[in-house]
Amino acid sequence: MPELPEVEIVRQSLNKKIKQKKVKKVIIRNRNLRFKIPFNFNSHFQNKRIIKVGRFSKYLIIYLSQGSYCLIHLGMSGTIHIVENKKINKFTNSSFYNSPFLPKKHNHIEIVFDNFKIVYNDPRRFGFFQLIKNNLDLKKRFNHLGPEPFDKNFNLEYVYNYFSKKKKDIKSFLLDQKFISGIGNIYASEILFLSKINPSKKASLLSKNECQKIISNSKKILLKAISKGGSSIRDFKNTLGIKGGFQNEFKVYQQDGKKCKNLGCTDLIKKKIISNRSTFFCDSCQK
Ligand SMILES: [Zn+2]
């Protein structure tokens, strides 16, 4: 499943390619994504210029001329491919997960520009496109979500106050999108290991110092994952020509049974299920 770093790589690839470009038309091959593609989809895009491609959490935001937007969520298996008209593309995928080449099936939406098109592929169809009329509606759309790890509102005051009197464990909070947006299961385990905090620890028992560690290490882990191109399972170059590779940097995620990577620790990494999700940690290093 694409996480924030993977979505950020898609954003960078797309932004580089379609910023300031004018949309010729859109082709809809299948309306039945997680939300049905509305009938005004074509008129929302046609002859409009793309101002830029932004992102909030795992949502891509296409900024269109005349002040409207289109959100794209990649769901479980969505990928966006950049296909040139004349060149034979070796790699079309704008990120590193799933197929590096345009698959033959499940190409649901095409946004066509002068010399190329972008193609939305999604075998499981949990992803969606959503048209947004104006800036106010865009803000409302994200009302139910907490700040991103990179947001200035994700600070000590916010985190420490949020945790007071809360009974849930810290691992569950890191996955709770109302508390913080965009941290997935892989990154939650890595952030807690780096912060030396046990994933089962009650959030209300965290000291200010521990909260601060969560804040800075969330940024650190995600920035590193973005710079490595995300945690792709496959090793291929995307359309920007960079290779994915954060999976080679995992300290605890899927490392159960292996020796802890902290210097001087002889313990093994353990796996346990917290809120239905696999959680990886070192009992000796994380208190
Ligand atoms: Zn350890």
Give the chain as a DSSP string.
Answer: ---HHHHHHHHHHHHHHHTTPBP-EEEES--BSSSBPPTTHHHHHTTPBEEEEEEETTEEEEEETTS-EEEEE-TTT-EEEEEESSS--S--BSSSSS-SS--SS-EEEEEE-SSEEEEEE-SS---EEEEE-SHHHHHHHTTTS---TTSTTSSHHHHHHHHTT--SBHHHHHH-TTTSSS--HHHHHHHHHHHT--TTSBGGG--HHHHHHHHHHHHHHHHHHHHTT---SS--B-TTSPBP-GGGG-SSTT-TTSBP-STT--PBPEEEEETTEEEEE-TTT--
Q: Which residues are catalytic?
A: 2-3, 58, 277
Residue pLDDT tens, the chain, 287 long: 888 999 999 999 999 999 999 999 999 999 999 999 999 999 999 999 999 999 999 999 999 999 999 999 999 999 999 999 987 767 898 888 888 889 999 999 999 999 999 999 999 999 999 999 999 999 999 999 999 999 999 999 999 999 999 999 999 999 999 999 999 999 999 999 999 999 999 999 999 999 999 999 999 999 999 988 777 655 556 666 666 578 888 999 999 999 999 999 999 999 999 989 999 999 999 99
How far apart are the CA of 250 and the centre of ligand 1, in A?
14
How far apart are the CA of 251 and the centre of ligand 1, in A?
10
pLDDT digits (tens, 9 = 90+) for 147-169: 999 999 999 999 999 999 999 99
How far apart are the CA of 196 and the centre of ligand 1, in A?
9
